[in-house]
Amino acid sequence: MLAKTTIFVIASLAIRGSAKTVSHDRSMSVNRLLSSSQPLSNDQLLSTSQSLSTEQLSSTIQPLSTDQLLSSSELLSTSQPLSTGRHVSSSQPVSTDQLLSASQPLSTSQPVSTNQPVPSNASLAQLISHCTVNNTVALTFDDGPYLYLENITDILSAANVTGTFFFNGNNYDCIYNPDEMQRVQYAYDHGHQVASHTWSHKNLAKMNRSRISSEMAGVELALQRIVGVVPAFTRPPYGDYNELVQRIAYKRNQTLVLWDFDSGDSMGATAAESKSSYAKLIATHPSTILALNHEVYKTTVDQILPFAISKLQAAGYNLVSLAECLNMPAYNSQGTRGTPDPTWHC
Ligand SMILES: *[C@@H]1O[C@H](CO)[C@@H](O)[C@H](O)[C@H]1NC(C)=O
Ligand SMILES: *[C@@H]1O[C@H](CO)[C@@H](O)[C@H](O)[C@H]1NC(C)=O
Ligand SMILES: *[C@@H]1O[C@H](CO)[C@@H](O)[C@H](O)[C@H]1NC(C)=O
Ligand SMILES: *[C@@H]1O[C@H](CO)[C@@H](O)[C@H](O)[C@H]1NC(C)=O
Ligand SMILES: *[C@@H]1O[C@H](CO)[C@@H](O)[C@H](O)[C@H]1NC(C)=O
Ligand SMILES: *[C@@H]1O[C@H](CO)[C@@H](O)[C@H](O)[C@H]1NC(C)=O
């Protein structure tokens, strides 16, 4: 019963959001969304999936759990043609029963049938491994938020360096733990870039459509709640992705980010080995560097980071955010942060 209500609430919100965003198309209805035999356009999908603003969420009668929100966002972000028109023959309001029966096909991950057009590269998320602005370095930090985030922020800020954090929702700790929320805000408020490393740090290339989408949606929602921004960049855990991941990322307006230098800190390298890797790299003086580090190791923070910053700056590089090293926007939207409530949980 709760699930039915949730779907109804989310669908209603989606319609409100669409009507607001797509002002020339006020007639957008559940009926049309569900009965369309065409895949929804990206604009429709994006405006729908991004319509769950904090204000809208907080205005709903029933608090929605993170799980419920995630499962709803799967429904809304599906790219499968929606073949449920026969179930939904009335115009709105649509009953929860209709939505529930309609939701079944929406959450399937059936392989794309052969008579569907093969997606062109134009509908695949961009994949980035290198900075593009000459003489820049982006220092990036995965797997937080965690214990050392404030110290990393302080070290970066003291050196006039902007870093980029790829956060998980629930990996070393739950992002909704008050300590972690405060750390995320601390890094963001000091001007560092925040981005998504997906919810649970699992391999996206081994997941079905709905799970990939919910892994992405969870962190996008958390960052929108905690600091008010929807990130523009996602780093797939382990750097693993496939075409389905790229397609879903594209629909979510996410650019996928890898790296071109790995400090090795998560691969068992000692601090001395990581420093040596940085030194060797800098000696070759590439025009740009997109460096992978992990914020969850004390040696990365206390030893590797200060070393890397001083050597990179001595070599004349500008140590900037990922967005700056690419000359791209850091965020898909920026607004106000939310107020924690019981639905903010892992
Ligand atoms: C997708 O994967 C998740 C988790 O592995 C599973 O619970 C769910 O049933 C799958 N969905 C479909 C439609 O196969
Ligand atoms: C699409 O991308 C694939 C893999 O990156 C590439 O081999 C292919 O040439 C691209 N096709 C077009 C039309 O750009
Ligand atoms: C890149 O920047 C470096 C350092 O400022 C400079 O020496 C070099 O000429 C630049 N290269 C290009 C292609 O602009
Ligand atoms: C942060 O840095 C301070 C000062 O160097 C140090 O005392 C503290 O232990 C560090 N915190 C963590 C969690 O490592
Ligand atoms: C800080 O870094 C920015 C960007 O790299 C640079 O423009 C600025 O001059 C730096 N400021 C100081 C005080 O070093
Ligand atoms: C997609 O992201 C870009 C910036 O990353 C933003 O300018 C644009 O508005 C976003 N599109 C939608 C539909 O949210």
The predicted-structure confidence for 172-226, as pLDDT tens digits, reads as follows: 999 999 999 999 999 999 999 999 999 999 999 999 999 999 999 999 999 999 9
- Spatial neighbors of 311 by CB under 8 A, at least 6 apart, are 278, 279, 282
Question: Which of 130, 285, 287 most suits a substitution to test ligand 3, by most atoms within 8 Å of the C-beta?
Answer: 287
Q: Is 303 in the pocket of ligand 4 (CB under 6 A)?
A: no
pLDDT above 70 for 39: no
Give the number of whichever ligand sits closest to the CA of residue 111: 1
Report CA 33 to chain centroid distance, whole Å: 24
Ligand 4 centre distance from Cα of residue 151 (Å): 6
Q: Is 151 in the pocket of ligand 4 (CB under 6 A)?
A: yes
* pLDDT the model gives residue 119: 56
Judge whether 216 and 252 are in contact, CB under 8 Å.
yes
Task: Please report the domains of the chain, with CATH numbers, ordered by start residue.
Answer: 2-106 (no CATH), 127-334 (3.20.20.370)
Tell me the three-class secondary structure of 106-173, residue by residue. Answer: HCCCCCCCCCCCCCCHHHCCCEECCCCCCCEEEEEEECCCCCCHHHHHHHHHHCCCCCEEEECCECCC
Nearest atom, ligand 6, residue 47 CA = 13
Q: Is 161 in the pocket of ligand 5 (CB under 6 A)?
A: no
pLDDT above 70 for 25: no
Start-to-end CA distance of the chain, whole Å, equals 22
Give the number of whichever ligand sits closest to the CA of residue 288: 3
Q: Is 205 in the pocket of ligand 4 (CB under 6 A)?
A: no
The tens digit of pLDDT for each residue in 234-271 reads 999 999 999 999 999 999 999 999 999 999 999 999 99
The tens digit of pLDDT for each residue in 42-91 reads 333 333 333 333 333 333 333 334 444 444 343 333 333 333 222 323 33
